[in-house]
């Protein structure tokens, strides 16, 4: 069901006030801890700006926010569109029902609809979306589901509609100078979790850690009926707090420490507990990491 959301202010905000505009404290603590980090908001704003540039001249934008979470990217597009003189009607889609319910509170849009569904089986009939954002989540799908999800997005976009994707889980995410950090951090975290769970069973890598090369993502997008018009690896400097926030994601923790579902919480805690010392050992203030960005249009 569509609802009207309020304009809660402008985006001429900095620091904590800017974070709170997009991500409530409750959402950050309960669903998306990394989404409250300024570096994360910045990179999603850059993706949103690229979408708005592709839609220059439109006064009304019909947006599909795939794997929307609590609505960060809908809110960003709303602000960017309003600055360009356009309105946004957004359909927010996710399989995390509590997060989607929180999005009803947090998300900014002129009109918003909320759909509980999987990206690879969109329960949408209309084919008039101007843009689809698939941010920070496509890596969670199997290859077959990635293909299906991209075909489904193509189906509901209008001709010339824009698809925007970003992910930091790809082959190329780790700049060369960051590799000593990850090597030391993971070794330290393995010692930590083995002390906590000496009898634990190691599992295979989690889906989130199955990094595809950038070219394979481009091929998937192309194969789904899109023309790639922009791609880049955006370098982001992560603070200790940001790295701890990434560690709170169970799929990341499971993949990093080869943990199973039952050990995921302890894996996350082990990673978080060893971040500060690893930064200190290497005398680092920030950890560089790359986000893959792809913008394509439906042909």
CATH number reported for the structural domain that contains residue 41 in this entry: 3.40.50.150
193 phi/psi in degrees, rounded to 5? -70, -30
Instruction: Identify whether 53 is part of a domain.
Output: yes
- Whether the CB-CB separation of 272 and 248 falls below 8 Å is answered with yes
Flag whether the pTM goes above 0.95. Answer: no
Instruction: Identify whether 193 is part of a domain.
Output: no
Residue 4 has pLDDT above 70, yes or no: no
Phi-psi map region of 283: left, alpha, beta (phi>0 left; psi -120 to 50 alpha): left
Instruction: Identify whether 259 is part of a domain.
Output: no
Domain ranges, residue 108: 2-174+210-237+288-298
Indicate the number of domains in the chain: 1
Instruction: Identify whether 260 is part of a domain.
Output: no
Closest CA to 92 of 72, 73, 66: 66
- Whether the CB-CB separation of 88 and 74 falls below 8 Å is answered with yes
- Alpha-carbon span 132 to 65, nearest angstrom: 6
More confident residue, 115 or 17: 115
Tens-digit pLDDT profile for residues 65-106: 999 999 999 999 999 999 999 999 999 999 999 999 999 999
Instruction: Identify whether 223 is part of a domain.
Output: yes
- Alpha-carbon span 20 to 242, nearest angstrom: 16
Instruction: Identify whether 61 is part of a domain.
Output: yes
Which pLDDT does position 3 carry in this prediction?
A: 52
Tens-digit pLDDT profile for residues 163-210: 999 999 999 999 999 999 999 999 999 999 999 998 876 654 444 457
Instruction: Identify whether 247 is part of a domain.
Output: no
- Whether the CB-CB separation of 265 and 250 falls below 8 Å is answered with yes
Tens-digit pLDDT profile for residues 29-64: 777 888 888 889 999 999 999 999 999 999 999 999
């Amino acid at each position: 069901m569509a609802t009207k959301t309020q304009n809660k202010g402008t985006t001429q905000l900095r620091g904590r006030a800017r974070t709170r505009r997009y991500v409530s404290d409750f959402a950050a603590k309960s669903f998306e801890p990394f989404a409250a980090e300024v570096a994360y908001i910045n990179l999603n704003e850059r993706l949103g700006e690229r979408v708005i540039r592709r839609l220059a001249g439109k006064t009304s934008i019909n947006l599909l926010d795939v794997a929307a979470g609590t609505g960060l990217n809908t809110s960003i597009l709303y602000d960017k569109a309003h600055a360009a003189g356009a309105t946004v009607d957004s359909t927010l889609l996710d399989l995390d029902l509590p997060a989607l319910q929180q999005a009803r509170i947090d998300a900014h849009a002129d009109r918003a609809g909320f759909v509980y569904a999987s990206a690879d089986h969109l329960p949408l009939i209309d084919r008039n979306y101007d843009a689809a954002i698939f941010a920070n989540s496509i890596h969670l799908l199997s290859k077959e589901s990635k293909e299906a999800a991209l075909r489904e997005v193509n189906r509901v976009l209008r001709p010339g509609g824009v698809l925007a994707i970003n992910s930091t889980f790809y082959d190329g995410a780790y700049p060369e100078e960051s590799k000593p950090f990850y090597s030391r951090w993971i070794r330290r975290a393995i010692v930590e979790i083995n002390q906590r769970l000496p009898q634990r069973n190691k599992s295979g890598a989690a889906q989130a850690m199955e990094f595809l090369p950038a070219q394979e993502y481009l091929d998937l997008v192309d194969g789904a009926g899109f023309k790639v018009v922009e791609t880049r690896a955006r370098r982001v400097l992560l603070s200790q707090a940001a790295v701890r926030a990434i560690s709170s994601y169970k799929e990341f923790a499971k993949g990093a420490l080869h943990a199973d579902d039952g050990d995921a919480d302890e894996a996350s805690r082990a990673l978080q507990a060893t971040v500060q010392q690893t930064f200190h050992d290497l005398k680092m203030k920030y950890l560089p990491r790359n986000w893959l960005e792809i913008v394509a249009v439906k042909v």
